[in-house]
Amino acid sequence: MSLDSQNFETQAVRTQTEKTQFLEHSTPMYLTSGFVFEDSEEMRAAFAEEKDRNLYSRFSNPNTTEFVNKICKLEGAEDGYAFATGMAAVFSTFAALLDAGDHIVSARSVFGSTHSLFTKYFPKWNIETSYFPVSEVATIESLIKPNTKIIYAESPTNPGVDVLDLELLGKIAKKHNLLLIIDNCFATPYLQNPIKFGADLVIHSATKLIDGQGRVLGGVTVGKKELIREIYLFSRNTGPALSPFNAWVLSKSLETLAVRVDRHCQSAHKLAEYLQSHPKVNWVKYPFLKSHPQYEVAKKQMKLGGNIVAFEVKNGVQGGRTFFDNIQMCSLSANLGDTRTIVTHPASTTHSKLAVEDKLAVGITDGMVRCSVGLEHIDDIIADLEKALEAI
Ligand SMILES: *Cc1c(COP(=O)(O)O)cnc(C)c1O
């Protein structure tokens, strides 16, 4: 059986660089900045790209290649390039594909630093962005202009856990001949493959569930070969490459992605159900709860509901802070997708400076808490949150 016809878990475990000198069972780490050549002809052919081989680790390295190949298999993508961080992947993807004067149509709720690219930096190159509300994907059509090049979205969104209809996004992009780029960080390739629904490129912050253990930063963009070629040429000159060490860590992490994410989702779903009937909780948002506004869409495009649960505690900002101050085991941290359960209170921290309407547009209310459910026993996670809720 060829590797391509194997299941997700098998490909994640078995995709490996070619056999090495010592036939190591686990891929060794290639900590080298450069690679040597036999003679001038070999070097000429390599630089002329007549031969597919490693030249310099800013361009490629066996560890980064293995990591990229795995993500390509798991996402059903033709090719890819790995970056030092998720944001390096987001920035380099846009920078490689856009010209001055181009226009982006993006979901209103995107990762904070991505939003800063759109509002603070891209305008320097006369690149403008228009936003559609996550609950009204169809309004994209009214925002498209002659210079629109890219439709951009995340699903589920951070921190509001909204779900966008990828099939509809794919249809709109195709109809208007636009590139569709999806940040698939919250779902991971295990829960959802945007390319199946028409995405041209998929971006991941590998820092989150792909590493899954809060150790290293990384990012990756995969998709259509000709687009990746542009991204590769841009990146080999500008230098956002993933380090071979981090690539080695992340490639190993992928071997356990499916079992980890299965447990993350199982626990997150249990927590969401528990919170739904708690008297100190106003509402809970989790893609696989029937009460989620896009439950049907989530069921159609995701294997499981993910590891992020958003909920609102009673008593607004004060309720949120009291809840936070009474958490004992879970971590108060800005990261997510770790083995350790992490709670954040956006209204008093990451999003405290935003105006009320801007907060609401991205799904944040005063008492809203985002919980990244980890791999501790679910009973212990619930017990910790229970005590904190009682204190409100
Ligand atoms: C964290 C995150 C990023 C950025 O990734 P880094 O690795 O921190 O640079 C991008 N998109 C989403 C949805 C994220 O959660």
Q: What is the pLDDT along the chain (392 residues), one digit of tens a residue?
A: 455 689 999 999 999 877 778 888 889 999 999 999 999 999 999 889 898 899 999 999 999 999 999 999 999 999 999 999 999 999 999 999 999 999 999 999 999 899 999 999 999 999 999 999 998 999 999 999 999 999 999 999 988 999 999 999 999 999 999 999 999 999 999 999 999 999 999 999 999 999 999 999 999 999 999 999 999 999 999 999 999 999 999 999 999 999 999 999 999 999 999 999 999 999 999 999 999 999 999 999 999 999 999 999 999 989 999 999 999 999 999 899 999 999 998 888 878 777 888 888 888 899 999 999 999 999 999 999 999 999 99
Domain with CATH 3.90.1150.10 in the chain: 257-390
For the Cβ of 111 lying below 6 angstroms from any atom of ligand 1, the answer is yes
Right CATH for 3-30+61-254 from 3.50.50.60, 3.40.640.10, 3.30.70.1380, 3.30.70.940: 3.40.640.10
Identify the CATH class of 257-390.
Answer: alpha beta
For the Cβ of 217 lying below 6 angstroms from any atom of ligand 1, the answer is yes
Q: What pLDDT, on a 0 to 100 scale, did the predictor assign at position 3? A: 55
pLDDT in tens, 171-230: 999 999 999 999 999 999 999 999 999 999 999 999 999 999 999 999 999 999 999 999
CB 191 within 8 A of CB 261: yes
Q: What pLDDT, on a 0 to 100 scale, did the predictor assign at position 351? A: 80
Tokens found for residue 37: 């050549």
CB 261 within 8 A of CB 213: no
Give the separation between CA 341 and CA 174, rounded to whole angstroms: 39
CA of 103 to the centre of ligand 1 (A): 22
Query: Which is the closest atom of ligand 1 to the Cα of 206?
Result: 7
Task: Give CA 320 to chain center in angstroms.
Answer: 26
Q: What pLDDT, on a 0 to 100 scale, did the predictor assign at position 181? A: 98
Give the amino acid at 69.
N
For the Cβ of 211 lying below 6 angstroms from any atom of ligand 1, the answer is no
CA of 68 to the centre of ligand 1 (A): 17
CB 227 within 8 A of CB 94: no
CA of 91 to the centre of ligand 1 (A): 11
CA of 218 to the centre of ligand 1 (A): 9
Query: Which is the closest atom of ligand 1 to the Cα of 88?
Result: 9
Give the separation between CA 82 and CA 206, rounded to whole angstroms: 9
For the Cβ of 272 lying below 6 angstroms from any atom of ligand 1, the answer is no
For the Cβ of 87 lying below 6 angstroms from any atom of ligand 1, the answer is yes
CA of 158 to the centre of ligand 1 (A): 9
Q: Where are the alpha helices (DSSP H) in the chain?
A: 8-14, 40-47, 62-75, 86-97, 112-116, 140-143, 166-175, 188-191, 225-238, 244-255, 257-276, 295-301, 316-325, 356-361, 378-390
Alpha-carbon dihedral angle through residues 252, 256, 261, 264, given to the nearest 10 degrees: -100
For the Cβ of 240 lying below 6 angstroms from any atom of ligand 1, the answer is no
Domain with CATH 3.40.640.10 in the chain: 3-30+61-254
CA of 110 to the centre of ligand 1 (A): 10
For ligand 1, mutation pick of 111, 154, 249, 336 (most atoms within 8 Å of CB)? 111
CA of 21 to the centre of ligand 1 (A): 37
For ligand 1, mutation pick of 83, 85, 90, 185 (most atoms within 8 Å of CB)? 185
DSSP assignment letter at 135: T
Is this model's pTM higher than 0.85 or not? Answer: yes
Q: What pLDDT, on a 0 to 100 scale, did the predictor assign at position 1? A: 44
pLDDT in tens, 276-326: 999 999 999 999 999 999 999 999 999 999 999 999 999 998 999 999 999
